[in-house]
């Protein structure tokens, strides 16, 4: 695995462009498994965390990153594997269980697992209720959750922008939330939501983002439906000309 090689060699270049600063490094456990649960504003968020964290962080990545064909596909698979990213099928249900099991193994092996708790980057950059994956992993393994706020990355990389601009960014690692290990059959939906919402509130306090008590998945679906309506209306208008 070439995680630290890329952090040390490419990190200085990225630092000159993103100028990241870090606060609360003392809150990251020096050893043992833990979850780094962060907000998500831009693609470069997954670079800012490794650049500022003194320990290696493992991440999930879309399964499509590992399924490409040809030289480009093989390169992408090699790249993500080399930096500690493992695939997850985001269609949900049983297809995502393998990735969660792998994340559990990472935590139980005493390493850090990074995850973004809200499920979409909204146009207005607000925090929404997201998936409860971090909460479930923490409860079933008894590891702490480190709420983490990323600030400024959205200004460097707007939605749809491929190459980020230059500027400053910050990552704030909050005080860990201690979680008592709970048997899987005793983990309730209410406890999952309670823990997930607590992490979100702490990120809100550190980042200054507005927290909206709506599910990210619902908001994302509404956004897609609205865009479909706009596209259909535009198409009908074009046909009438």
In tens, the pLDDT along 177-221 reads 999 999 999 999 999 999 999 999 999 999 988 888 777 777 777
In a domain, 239, yes or no: no
In a domain, 152, yes or no: yes
Segment 84-101 mean pLDDT: 70
In a domain, 13, yes or no: yes
pTM for this prediction: 0.85
What is the CB-side half-sphere exposure of residue 132 using CA atoms within 13 A?
17
Question: Do 172 and 237 form a contact (C-beta atoms < 8 A)?
Answer: no
Count the domains in the chain: 1
User: Domain limits at 170?
Assistant: 1-212
In a domain, 82, yes or no: yes
Dihedral through CA 149, CA 188, CA 61, CA 41, nearest 10?
-30
In a domain, 192, yes or no: yes
- From the list 140, 139, 134, the residue with the least C-alpha distance to 196 is 134
CATH code where residue 132 lies:
3.40.1130.10
Q: What is the pLDDT of residue 30?
A: 96
Dist. CA 123–CA 160, nearest whole Å: 11
Residue 225, sorted as left (phi over 0), alpha (psi -120 to 50) or beta, turns out to be alpha
Q: How high does pLDDT run on average in the chain?
A: 86
In tens, the pLDDT along 94-106 reads 556 678 888 999 9
In a domain, 120, yes or no: yes
Q: Is 173 exposed, middle or buried (0-12, 13-18, 19+ CB in 10 A)?
A: buried
In a domain, 91, yes or no: yes
Tokens 């000159």, residue located? 16
In a domain, 110, yes or no: yes
Dist. CA 49–CA 37, nearest whole Å: 10
Segment 119-135 mean pLDDT: 73
């Amino acid at each position: 695995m070439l995680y630290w090689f890329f952090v040390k060699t490419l990190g200085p270049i990225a630092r000159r462009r993103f100028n990241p600063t870090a606060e609360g490094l003392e809150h990251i456990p020096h050893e043992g498994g833990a979850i780094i649960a962060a907000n998500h504003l831009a693609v470069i968020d997954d670079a800012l965390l490794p650049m500022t964290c003194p320990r290696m962080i493992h991440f999930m990545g879309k399964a499509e990153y590992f399924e490409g064909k040809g030289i480009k596909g093989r390169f992408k698979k090699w790249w993500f594997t080399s930096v500690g990213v493992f695939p997850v099928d985001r269609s949900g249900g049983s297809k995502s269980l393998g990735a969660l099991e792998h994340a559990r193994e990472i935590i139980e092996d005493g390493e850090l697992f990074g995850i973004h708790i809200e499920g979409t980057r909204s146009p207005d950059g607000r925090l929404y209720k997201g998936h409860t994956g971090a909460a479930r992993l923490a409860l079933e393994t008894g590891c702490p959750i480190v709420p983490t706020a990323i600030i400024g990355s959205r200004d460097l990389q707007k939605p749809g922008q491929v190459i980020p601009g230059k500027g400053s960014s910050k990552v704030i690692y909050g005080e860990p939330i201690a979680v008592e290990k709970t048997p899987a059959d005793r983990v309730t939906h209410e406890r999952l939501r309670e823990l997930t919402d607590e992490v979100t509130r702490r990120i809100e306090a550190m980042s200054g983002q507005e927290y909206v008590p709506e599910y990210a998945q619902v908001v994302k679906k509404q956004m897609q439906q609205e865009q479909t309506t706009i596209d259909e209306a535009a198409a009908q208008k074009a046909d009438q000309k």
